Amino acid sequence: MSDTLPDTLPDPLDDLNEGDEPAILQLPLDAWHRARGGRMVPFAGYEMPVQYDGIMAEHLWTRESAGLFDVSHMGQVGFTGDGIDAAGVAKALEAVLPGDIAGLAPTKIRYSLLLNDEGGILDDLMATRLPEEGAHPFGEASHYVVVNGATKYDDLSYLLDVLPDDITMNLMEDQALLAVQGPKAVAAVARLIPGVDALVFMTAGAFEWNGHPLWISRSGYTGEDGVEISIPAEAAADFADAICAEPEVKPIGLGARDSLRLEAGLPLYGHDLDPETTPVMADLGFALSKRRREAADFAGAQRILAEREDGPAVKRVGLSVAGRQPVREGASVVDADGAVIGRVTSGGFAPSVGAPIAMAYVPAALAAAGTPVRLVQRGKIHEAAVVPMPFVPHRYVRAGGK
């Protein structure tokens, strides 16, 4: 028995016959995960917990209660201007990010994309405008950006090339990053850290726990309400113990994190997004801010704006898959004659939906909801249909909401 398909995470059975392992680093909570029964697998250069009790149970627990996710492999980067102010840093970042970074008020967060000159996506990220120096834990930085773990060093190297010399980047590898996600997450966190519940979706603030400075963002990548907490590495295990002592919170592995984000319709870098993909193809047009579109002053703007005007040739869509068998990344989308016209970029069994779902790139003419498509995986044909995303409704707590 062996794994045959590319997947987001290594197949657990791969570990069974493994001989030559690359250098794998350990994150601050490594021992904590092992003590909690986490099964550790190599991911993004680190040993990470793929699951504790089982992906299905962890996924459903997060949807109904709250899960603690260790996302310390992700890159937390502080941007500091040397002799230039926050507006100058924002302006420099806008050369490679198509969002309105300059227009971000302090403590506001924006989802954005790191673009190459051709408008291809090098990474997706969250950018926060920090408040004045002293009102956050990141020294003199004016902007805080969280990038994907697998891409963080490439991102930094690219940014080093394109950013002016008077901007300093600090990859804060002494900070852990913990996400607490689920409908009961914020209530649980607020018991330990009063005031966190005052944050709304896509805002952040400075807090303190047991004398440790925290930077907490009301954000996440599961489709649920929740927070992401940047905490000094040496305090991370104590905090993880404290939050998991709350009855609503259990530790959750990367396996469920992946199925949660797939159900939420959120693309995963390296799978649903890559340098060949533009924001328009990826259906991430919302990341192109109006002011930036009008100014056409970001990397790849000409191509991206033309694509936006004329419509992209291919588009990322959600698929519901008939039957019970999951259709995974790498499967082909085929037309009635069997010709390959697209590909599945993420797919699996959706625990909250109770059926297989997938994301795929298909020709724009087939991107409308309701369009039937056929998928081929290992020679077997699977019937599927384009459906609107998210597959499971988002439950973000927005300003003016409850």
Partner 1 sequence: MSRYFTEDHEWVDVDGDVGTVGISEYAQSQLGDIVFVDVPEDGKQLDKGDEAAVVESVKAASDVYSPVSGNVLEGNSALGDDPSLVNSDAEGEGWFFKITLSDASELETLMDETAYAAFVSKL
Footprint of partner 1 (CB under 8 A): 1-5, 7-9, 11-13, 15-17, 50-51, 54-57, 59, 255, 258-259, 324-326, 328, 348-349, 351, 356, 378, 380
Comparing CB distances to partner 1, the nearer of 92 and 333 is 333
For the bound state, the minimum distance from the C-beta of residue 118 to partner 1, rounded and expressed in Å, comes to 33
For the bound state, the minimum distance from the C-beta of residue 12 to partner 1, rounded and expressed in Å, comes to 5
Within 10 angstroms of residue 13's Cβ, the number of other Cβ atoms is 11
Asked if 120 contacts 277 with a C-beta cutoff of 8 angstroms, the reply is yes
For the bound state, the minimum distance from the C-beta of residue 223 to partner 1, rounded and expressed in Å, comes to 17
Comparing CB distances to partner 1, the nearer of 58 and 307 is 58
In this structure, are strands 167-171 and 175-181 parallel, antiparallel, or unpaired? unpaired
For the bound state, the minimum distance from the C-beta of residue 350 to partner 1, rounded and expressed in Å, comes to 9
Asked if 385 contacts 370 with a C-beta cutoff of 8 angstroms, the reply is yes
Of 232, 256, 109, residue with least CA distance to 182: 256
Residue at 217: amino acid letter? S
Of 33, 286, 307, 257, residue with least CA distance to 149: 257
Comparing CB distances to partner 1, the nearer of 164 and 323 is 323
First-to-last C-alpha distance (Å) of the chain: 50
For the bound state, the minimum distance from the C-beta of residue 381 to partner 1, rounded and expressed in Å, comes to 13
Instruction: Write the DSSP assignment of 140-189 as a string of letters.
Output: T-SEEEEE-GGGHHHHHHHHHHHS-TTEEEEE-TTEEEEEEESTTHHHHH
Comparing CB distances to partner 1, the nearer of 181 and 203 is 181
Comparing CB distances to partner 1, the nearer of 13 and 306 is 13
Comparing CB distances to partner 1, the nearer of 125 and 264 is 264
Comparing CB distances to partner 1, the nearer of 88 and 270 is 270
Asked if 262 contacts 8 with a C-beta cutoff of 8 angstroms, the reply is no
For the bound state, the minimum distance from the C-beta of residue 50 to partner 1, rounded and expressed in Å, comes to 8
Comparing CB distances to partner 1, the nearer of 13 and 295 is 13
For the bound state, the minimum distance from the C-beta of residue 330 to partner 1, rounded and expressed in Å, comes to 10
Radius of gyration (Cα) for the chain, nearest Å? 21
| Residue 24, token pair as written in the block | 């794998």
Comparing CB distances to partner 1, the nearer of 34 and 398 is 34
The rounded distance, in Å, linking the Cα atoms of 310 and 295 is 18
Of 173, 317, 289, 183, residue with least CA distance to 236: 173
For the bound state, the minimum distance from the C-beta of residue 40 to partner 1, rounded and expressed in Å, comes to 13
Of 372, 373, 318, residue with least CA distance to 350: 318
Write down how long the chain is: 402
The rounded distance, in Å, linking the Cα atoms of 214 and 207 is 5
For the bound state, the minimum distance from the C-beta of residue 48 to partner 1, rounded and expressed in Å, comes to 13
Strands (E), 245-363: 249-251, 314-321, 332-334, 340-350, 355-363
Within 10 angstroms of residue 53's Cβ, the number of other Cβ atoms is 15
For the bound state, the minimum distance from the C-beta of residue 49 to partner 1, rounded and expressed in Å, comes to 13
List Cβ neighbours of 231 (8 Å cut-off, separation of 6 or more): 175, 176, 177, 178, 209, 212, 214, 239
Comparing CB distances to partner 1, the nearer of 50 and 77 is 50
